[in-house]
Amino acid sequence: MTTSRTLTIIKPDAFGAGKAGKIIAHLEQDGFQVVAARVMRLTTAQAGEFYAVHNGRPFYAELVEFMTSGDCMPMILEKASAVVALREAIGATDPAEAAAGTVRKLYAESKGRNAIHASDSDQNAARESRFFFAETDCIRG
């Protein structure tokens, strides 16, 4: 199977608690390769645009506030069927419902403060990757 790419973000709760190294090690152990990474603090405008699809939902303001509350770590990851594989590896949105051994079960606090984001389709992976990275930021880009 050919490799593909997806976009992840280690969110401010996990990054601020010093869990980035453990989460990256977990993902590498699972066969993902980091092909681009950065550390940044999202502005309100950036977080609002990134999560624009959720604008109007009851948790949108809380989500934007949380995502701008501290530094985060967007990364592009590569693996066979990367989008599906990463969503399996991180588990359900709510850590209380996440399967044992998933990133959110191990490292997330709550549905809102849930440690990590993963793109939900190849199309969104490409769009979200362009949000944070240029093609030349990626190894073998």
Judged by the rule CB under 6 A, the positions of this chain that interact with ligand CMP are 54, 59, 62-63, 93, 111-112, 114, 117
Quickly count: other Cβ atoms within 10 Å of residue 76's Cβ.
26
Q: How far is the CB of 83 from ligand CMP (least distance, A)?
A: 12
Task: Report the residue number, 65 or 141, with the smaller CB distance to ligand CMP.
Answer: 65
The first and second tokens of residue 58, run together, are 């009851």
Q: How far is the CB of 93 from ligand CMP (least distance, A)?
A: 5
Question: Pick the catalytic residue: 117, 119, 128, 132?
Answer: 117
Strands 33-37 and 3-10 turn out to be unpaired
Active site residue 54: no
Task: Report the residue number, 121 or 139, with the smaller CB distance to ligand CMP.
Answer: 121
Task: Report the residue number, 79 or 91, with the smaller CB distance to ligand CMP.
Answer: 91
The CA–CA distances, whole Å, from 55 to 24, 49, 52 equal 29, 9, 5
Q: How far is the CB of 103 from ligand CMP (least distance, A)?
A: 11
Instruction: Please say whether the dihedral angle defined by the alpha carbons of residues 85, 138, 124 and 66, taken in this order, is positive or negative.
Output: positive
Task: Report the residue number, 70 or 112, with the smaller CB distance to ligand CMP.
Answer: 112
Residues 6+ apart with CB under 8 A from 106: 26
Q: How far is the CB of 130 from ligand CMP (least distance, A)?
A: 17
Task: List residues with catalytic annotation.
Answer: 117
